[in-house]
């Protein structure tokens, strides 16, 4: 019987590659998105993966959305907390709105999405929770105090929840991608992008599929002995101890 997976922010970028990879591996996949209806419709047409629209920074919307997905495809076995936004700015100019928007979407959403599925996973004695953090949650980044704090928070969340759920057959792991060749990165100023690539020892951006491959491993039964881990996938740009 196929396992059921949810990928937040699953219709574009890294999330899109994750959703497609899971489907190709035999999972029934639901992809959530927040705003780009055109991209979501195109994704659904191309992949056949069900799409569901809601704001993951809204606790009630997450609970209602998950209930709808589970009514459509069954209890959740794998949850990938991937949705994220940026609202960059030097800290001395950063507004409370910029801070709150990023913390709500990038960190609070992990609680709002995981809380409604965790009891079912505990009762069934199985679950895979995979949180997409970032290189900048490990090392920090100028102009991203909000983003770096949220992504670092995901790592703490991952480790704490891993302790709580290990004996219930649930693994909780994180992936910290470096700079990946998504549309968002491709839209950066060419000189800035060249400077970033120059700091990556392998000499290139990563691909969304390379992150998806790591998710596929963590979602597999073969990864049952790995929990509380952070996989750094950044071409050697930052080597965490």
pLDDT for position 184? 75
Q: What is the pLDDT of residue 187?
A: 76
| Domains of the chain (ranges, CATH numbers) | 4-233 (3.40.50.720)
Q: Does the annotation mark 179 as catalytic?
A: no
pLDDT of residue 200: 96
Write down the pLDDT at residue 109: 98
- Mean pLDDT for each 10-residue chunk of the chain (241 residues)? 94 97 98 95 97 98 98 97 95 97 98 98 98 96 96 98 98 97 81 91 97 98 97 94 71
* Residue (of 128, 137, 65, 127) closest to 107 by Cα position: 137
Which one of 52, 112, 126, 147 is the catalytic residue?
Answer: 147
pLDDT given for residue 144 in this prediction: 95
Query: pLDDT at position 185, please?
Result: 80
pTM, whole model, 2 decimals?
Answer: 0.96
CA torsion 19-20-23-28 (nearest 10°) is: 30
pLDDT number for residue 186: 76
Query: 146 and 87 in contact (C-beta within 8 Å)?
Result: yes
């Amino acid at each position: 019987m196929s396992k059921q997976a949810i990928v937040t922010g699953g219709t574009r970028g890294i999330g899109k590659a994750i959703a497609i990879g899971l489907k190709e591996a035999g999972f029934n996949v639901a992809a959530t998105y927040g705003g780009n209806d055109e991209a979501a419709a195109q994704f659904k047409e191309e992949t056949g993966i069900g799409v569901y629209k809601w704001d993951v920074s809204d606790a009630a919307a997450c609970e209602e959305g998950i209930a709808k997905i589970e009514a459509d495809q069954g209890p959740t076995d794998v949850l990938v907390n991937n949705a994220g936004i940026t609202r960059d700015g030097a800290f001395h100019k950063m507004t409370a709105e910029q801070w709150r928007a990023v913390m709500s979407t990038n960190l609070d959403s992990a609680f709002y999405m995981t809380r409604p599925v965790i009891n079912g996973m505990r009762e069934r004695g199985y679950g895979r929770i995979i949180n997409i953090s970032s290189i900048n949650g490990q090392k920090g980044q100028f102009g991203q105090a909000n983003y770096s704090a949220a992504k670092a928070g995901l790592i703490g969340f991952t480790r704490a929840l891993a302790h709580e759920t290990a004996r219930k057959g649930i693994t909780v792991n994180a992936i910290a991608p470096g700079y990946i060749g998504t549309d968002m990165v491709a839209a950066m100023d060419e000189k800035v992008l060249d400077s970033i690539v120059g700091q990556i020892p392998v000499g290139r951006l990563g691909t969304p599929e390379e992150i998806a491959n790591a998710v596929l491993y963590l979602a597999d039964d073969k990864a049952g002995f790995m929990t509380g881990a952070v996989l750094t996938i950044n071409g050697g740009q930052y080597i965490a101890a």
